[in-house]
A and B are shown apart, each in its own frame.
Chain A
Amino acid sequence: MSEWWSYALSDFLLFSPRVYRRMFELHNGAVWPMQVLTLATGLAMVMLVLWRPRGHGRLIALFLAITWAFVAWSFFSLRYTTINWAAAYVAPLFALEAMLLLVTGVLFGRLTFDWRGVPGLLGLLLVAFALVGQPSLAPLMGRPWASAEIFGIAPDPTAIATLGLLLLARGKPVGLLSPIPVFWCVMTGATLWAMEAPEAWISPAAALLAAAGGIWSGKARGGQGEASQR
């Protein structure tokens, strides 16, 4: 792209805010009543984290993988691509995240979850926001409930919930599983910023919180390691 410095963020916006909002309305109508299932899955994952039964890591990874695969196919490939050709390039990324969750969390069972500690509480807060807060944004901002962005249906709450769950997770794959949700939070923030949407800061802020929690968690574990060596 020549003279790239002369482009503003809004130059990359292909659609109007109205079309973008109505897209969620149409999508919710098309996949109904999947919302009930995805929200139930989200709640089930929170329960699994809190109760930590045997095999909880594999189950959470499986639920998340299915969710990411569904959003890749139903939202990006079938819906968003009708107004944004770039969505066709994001769909494989969401599918890749699903694959990574399947391989690392389900196949190799390398993920366990623990909510204790400050990062854990922060993670639970992010998951709670993704399940309850994000869908409430539509009516709070004067838009119909039908245009609500719901975990497992829309990408933003899916990415935020995943970042929250990764803050609760233990295991090496966490570093591998974080970049794609963070990337999406930045992308969606840029899109909403270009549309001058008041909630543009939310997803990037969630990614920042997750990053801060991840650093805290890493330091805490490092400190525990040093203490145990003494």
Chain B
Amino acid sequence: MSLRHPSRRAILAAGAALAISSALSPRALRAQSTESAMRRIPSSGEAIPAVGLGTWITFNVGDDPVLRDECAAVMAAFFEADGRAIDSSPMYGSSQPVIGHGLAKLGAPSGLFSAEKVWTSSGPDGPAQIEQSRRFWGVPRFDLLQVHNLLAWKEHLKTLFEMKAAGKVRYVGITTSDGRRHDLLEEIMRREPLDFVQLTYNIVDREAEDRILPLARDRGMAVIVNRPFQQGALTRRLEREPLPDWSAEIGASSWAQFILKFILSHPSVTVAIPATSRVDHVRENVAAAAGPIPDQAMRRRMANHVEQL
């Protein structure tokens, strides 16, 4: 057997192959995916995963032990997929104690980013309601407290900013849904030093693109997107149609991922919070943030396609 020195061409070819294989290695792909899956909160620079977990309707299961455990399983899958932000409200029936049940069952996951709301027409009742919510969750403090649907926003924002100054909450925000009261939302965003705004935005409800989302970017506010699937109505409608072949270009393997990728591709959007009661769906939702994110041309293509269905 004779040993031959490799030729220059062979060395170059091997080098190129090594470079390509390194670039496409699982580690590199994971790094790319992780980067697109995380977003910065503008007011602090803290990174959080771009897909959170909403609890409207899905976590309101009362004291049904079977359904409570199902919700805990959804939370477990969410944390296993590196999800962090869970959002709830006193308006959501039993969702808060159900979250508390899940957190206790999972041993208080350290990655949790807890987003709550204050929802009462009485300003003085706000602190007691927040404390009740905290007990339901079983957390030492909330990461984010928001004024739900702008209800008694002046009084509650005063309370929340005082809590933030005292270190009792890390971020302050306000919420609205389904495109309501955007004029007032805009006014508050211009006046108040909010960390977060929460609103409805998806591939068919795009009113926020006109003023609210650009304003959030200008003002350095993080944006949480609620009702990404129009409470399931949008996905139910789209699932009657085949997913376009070119969805593979953005790594979307379902309509839910297609919609989430559209939402997350808006530069102002920080976190989308789809709600689900299914483990497979929560995994699918969190996975939507990984991989390629549509550019402007692709966003137009996606919106046009859905509009024509």
Given the contacts A10-B231, A83-B60, A16 and B277 also touching, CB distance less than 8 Å = yes
Contacts of B251 on A, CB cut-off 8 Å?
A: none
Q: Mark A1-15, 1 if CB is under 8 A from B, else 0.
A: 011001000110111
Query: Which of A18-26, A141-149, A215-223 touches B?
Result: A18-26
Q: Kindly name the residue among A3, A18, A19, A79 whose own CB sees the greatest number of chain B CB atoms within 10 A.
A: A19
A68 to chain B, nearest CB (A): 23
Q: Kindly name the residue among B60, B180, B231 whose own CB sees the greatest number of chain A CB atoms within 10 A.
A: B60
Contacts of A18 on B, CB cut-off 8 Å?
A: 67
Complex Cα distance A18/B277, Å? Answer: 11
Main secondary structure of the interface of B (DSSP, over half): loop
Cβ < 8 Å to A, chain B residues 153-205: 178-181
Q: Mark B71-107, 1 if CB is under 8 A from A, else 0.
A: 0000000000000000000011110000000000000
Cβ < 8 Å to B, chain A residues 17-52: 18-19, 22-23, 26
* Residue pair B67, A22 in contact (C-beta under 8 Å): yes
Contacts of B61 on A, CB cut-off 8 Å?
A: 15, 19, 83
Given the contacts A16-B58, A82-B94, A3 and B64 also touching, CB distance less than 8 Å = no
* Residue pair A2, B231 in contact (C-beta under 8 Å): no
Given the contacts A16-B58, A16-B277, A82 and B93 also touching, CB distance less than 8 Å = yes
Complex Cα distance A158/B86, Å? Answer: 40
B307: Cβ under 8 A from any A Cβ: no
Contact partner of A19 (CB less than 8 A), chosen from B67, B92, B181, is B67
B222 to chain A, nearest CB (A): 25
* Residue pair B63, A14 in contact (C-beta under 8 Å): no
B124: Cβ under 8 A from any A Cβ: no
Interface residues on B, range: 10 to 19
Contacts of A82 on B, CB cut-off 8 Å?
A: 62-63, 93-94
A183: Cβ under 8 A from any B Cβ: no
Complex Cα distance A135/B252, Å? Answer: 46
* Residue pair B180, A84 in contact (C-beta under 8 Å): no
Contacts of A22 on B, CB cut-off 8 Å?
A: 64, 66-67
* Residue pair B180, A6 in contact (C-beta under 8 Å): yes
* Residue pair B181, A15 in contact (C-beta under 8 Å): no
Contact partner of B93 (CB less than 8 A), chosen from A6, A11, A15, is A15
Q: Mark B197-237, 1 if CB is under 8 A from A, else 0.
A: 00000000000000000000000000000000001000000
Contacts of B181 on A, CB cut-off 8 Å?
A: 2-3
Contacts of B31 on A, CB cut-off 8 Å?
A: none
A89: Cβ under 8 A from any B Cβ: no
B23: Cβ under 8 A from any A Cβ: no
Contacts of B66 on A, CB cut-off 8 Å?
A: 22
Complex Cα distance A6/B182, Å? Answer: 13
Which chain B residue lies CB-closest to A23?
Answer: B62
Which chain A residue lies CB-closest to B231?
Answer: A10
Which chain B residue lies CB-closest to A78?
Answer: B63
Which chain B residue lies CB-closest to A19?
Answer: B61
A26 to chain B, nearest CB (A): 6
Contacts of A26 on B, CB cut-off 8 Å?
A: 62-64
Q: A10-B231, A13-B57 are in contact. List 7 more A-B contacts (CB 8 A).
A: A2-B181, A6-B179, A14-B93, A19-B67, A26-B63, A26-B64, A79-B62
A-B contact pairs, 24 of them (CB 8 A): A2-B180, A2-B181, A6-B178, A6-B179, A13-B57, A14-B60, A14-B92, A14-B93, A15-B60, A15-B61, A15-B62, A16-B60, A19-B62, A19-B64, A22-B67, A23-B62, A26-B62, A26-B63, A26-B64, A79-B62, A82-B93, A82-B94, A83-B93, A83-B94
| Interface residues, chain A, with chain B CB atoms under 8 Å away | 2-3, 6, 10-11, 13-16, 18-19, 22-23, 26, 79, 82-85
